[in-house]
A and B are shown apart, each in its own frame.
Chain A
Amino acid sequence: MFFWSLVLIAVGIFSSFIYGRSRIKLNSKKQGTKSKSLPNYYAQYVLMWCLFPALIVYFSWAIFQEQIIQNIVISNFEFIEGAAYNEGLLLAEIRNVANNPSFADGKSVEIINAASQYSSLRQISQIAFYLSIIIIMLLGALYASRKLKPEFHAQHAIERYIQYILIFCSSVAIFTTIGIVFSLIFESLRFFAEVSIFEFLFSTEWYPFIPIREGQTAAEGSFGAVPIFAGTFLVMVVAMCVAAPLGLLTAIYLAEYASQRVRKIVKPLLEILAGIPTIVYGFFAFVSVAPFVKAFGQSIGIDASPTSALAAGMVMGVMIIPFISSLSDDVINSVPQSLREGSFGIGANKAETIKKVILPAALPGIVGAFLLAISRAIGETMIVVVAAGTAPNLTGNPFENVTTVTVQIVVALIGDQEFDNPRTLSAFALGLVLFVITLFLNIIALQIVKRYRERYE
């Protein structure tokens, strides 16, 4: 149904375009004046007045039709006194019968009646849908055609509409973000209504299991997120210990030592690292690095678990190398050449120039790159899910199992539980904390990078 209506709309806007074009030519010939804009702009004007109202009708139908029909069917349904109904199941049954009459055998009269009502409502709705699209397009064309006079600045009108379209598109992203933030906040508030915020932020025991059914013997859960934050922090520190030196030194090599030819090859190769799906890093961490870490731990007499903060952190460090190296490389490159010449001109060698002139000049930008990498590291999920484990240990020992905020969110949402208990709701509170931390890191990092850019134009 919705496919054919798209065809209808396409035909409508095509003919409106042709109509607008010929109409304005006719009108300006009749008046003997040249139109203010080119004929195509008038045609586009008519087209827009056809297209947008039609799209609005189209989408409102797509969104509301099913809901409204269901409401009517349910409200007319003859409930039998005393019988228990599940509305969702009932509707599914009615829909099945309506779509496939052979299911009607053995169903109650009420359901068959409701199904036939459902079918007829759908037919009515469909006819109404086509009719209203045609009417609204005609109305739009009629309104627009009254403006098709040579003295009307169609081009200005088009420019204005295009601006509206652009504003609409950019606001989609913004409002989606706002929507996500608010849903995070409200769901978190539901969580904090059941678990005190102080327990969440300061207590050190994470045991998110609570009785789901009456009479279950599970203990009362506890929701102290400190071990989770500590685990996140530990993995992040390990990752930065790997990524910061490797990334920065790579950037220095690329920016200062590598020849143009090497740079052209190596930089894109490094950026490919950023394109590897993180779950693949996860495999790598779990299959190759974690056993190595375990063996290494045993060889120096530390009892390492099969998944560990060290394994996950090291692989995550490799993953964020390109963030640091690529951004730092850009920053180092944008240090003016004149500073290098000034330093070399005094007789400094390359190492002195880099250490004492270029790095200090590039420092703010490099700090910004580090902060962005950190925020990426703490938001990373798949590597830690696979390779860090799920045990909320409060430990500073990187050979142990730890868990991170992102892992706990995954754990909380796995399974088919409703969002009505603290265990699943805790995902939102954790998500909120994660969001706030990365938001602040990003703001600070972007501020630093921006101030740095201003300094060197």
Chain B
Amino acid sequence: MSNSKILANGVDVYYGSKQALFGISMDIKEKEVTALIGPSGCGKSTFLRCINRMNDLIEICKVSGSIKVDNEEIISEKTDVVSLRSKIGMVFQKPNPFPKSIFDNVAYGPTIHGLVDSKNELEEIVHSSLKKAGLFNEVKDRLNEPGTSLSGGQQQRLCIARAIAVNPEIILMDEPCSALDPIATAIIEELIDELRLNYTIVIVTHSMQQAARVSQKTSFFHLGELIETGDTKKIFTNPDNSKTQDYITGRFG
């Protein structure tokens, strides 16, 4: 049994006066892929964005409850959001490379966090991150071209490389394949499987097949509540809750 990496306890989220999450408690294990599934608007992305305090960007969003990352409380005024986010990388629904060169996209994180002392070191980090994201061979001859010139799937892998360049421990993925074609999706899924060895991954997905393929643990959200969480195999073959059963068999959602 591996260790707890993220421990959520009674997390409530409000958008203005509308409550979006109701007392979510969840235990996310180290170096596993945890998939969050559920119908649209069920709060799975909201929960994901609590983990790296991304909801701070939304003025009307209020988060309460407790989330501990490595036993440290992060839902608190005192939390150092910058170092938290450098520890927790994030990949978004739509690939969002910066309007810079491929190299600078990956170099951005290490530079602002002062992780490198020399140009050579930076180059090394950029190259190794691109390699880990499985993109290096495709772009090694054109690192100076703009990141936006890549295809959608390549852009998404560039964003993954950008996230792992700051050496995070956790990677959050918010529907990373929803804007990609099946081939690019397959490549990313393969990549997720490799990244699992070194990173704790939480992935929000609309595709139940994807959840079944890439994750070890699955959590089912419905109307802002966590209905069921457990081993992926169990959730997909023999769920305890009838709502989960209905959802995975396609009866609603």
Contact = CB atoms under 8 A, between A and B. Distances in A.
Contact of B162 (A260, A341, A342, A356): A342
B113 A260 contact: no
A357 B148 CA distance: 14
Contacts of A172: none
Interface in A319-347: 336, 338-347
B59 A356 contact: no
A259 interface: yes
Given A260-B59, A339-B98, A340-B57, A345 B90 contact: yes
B1 interface: no
B163 interface: yes
Which of A344, A347, A361, A455 lies at the interface centre, i.e. has the most chain B CB atoms within 10 A of its CB? A347
A259 B59 contact: yes
B85 A341 contact: no
Interface in B71-88: 81-87
Nearest to A337: B57
15 contacts: A340-B57, A342-B98, A345-B163, A346-B86, A346-B162, A347-B81, A347-B82, A347-B85, A347-B109, A347-B113, A347-B166, A348-B82, A348-B108, A356-B98, A360-B100
A356 B99 contact: no
B68 interface: no
B94 A360 contact: no
Given A345-B89, A346-B86, A361-B98, A356 B166 contact: no
Interface string B93-111: 0101111100000001100
Q: Which 6 A-B pairs have the closest CB atoms?
A: A347-B86, A347-B85, A345-B90, A338-B96, A346-B109, A342-B96
A349 B90 CA distance: 15
A336 B145 CA distance: 21
Nearest to A364: B99
A352 B85 CA distance: 14
B178 to A, nearest CB: 13
A332 to B, nearest CB: 13
B52 to A, nearest CB: 7
B54 interface: yes
Given A349-B82, A360-B100, A361-B98, A341 B108 contact: no
A143 B43 CA distance: 70
Nearest to B52: A345
A356 B108 contact: yes
Contact of B54 (A259, A336, A341): A341
Interface string A406-437: 00000000000000000000000000000000
A346 B96 contact: no
A339 B109 CA distance: 13
Contacts of A259: 59
A346 B85 contact: yes
Contacts of A342: 90, 92, 96-98, 159, 162
B94 A347 contact: no
Nearest to B100: A360
Interface string A7-38: 00000000000000000000000000000000
B112 interface: yes
B112 A346 contact: yes
Contacts of A455: 99
Given A259-B59, A346-B85, A341 B109 contact: no
Contacts of B82: 347-349
A356 to B, nearest CB: 7
Contacts of B54: 341, 344-345
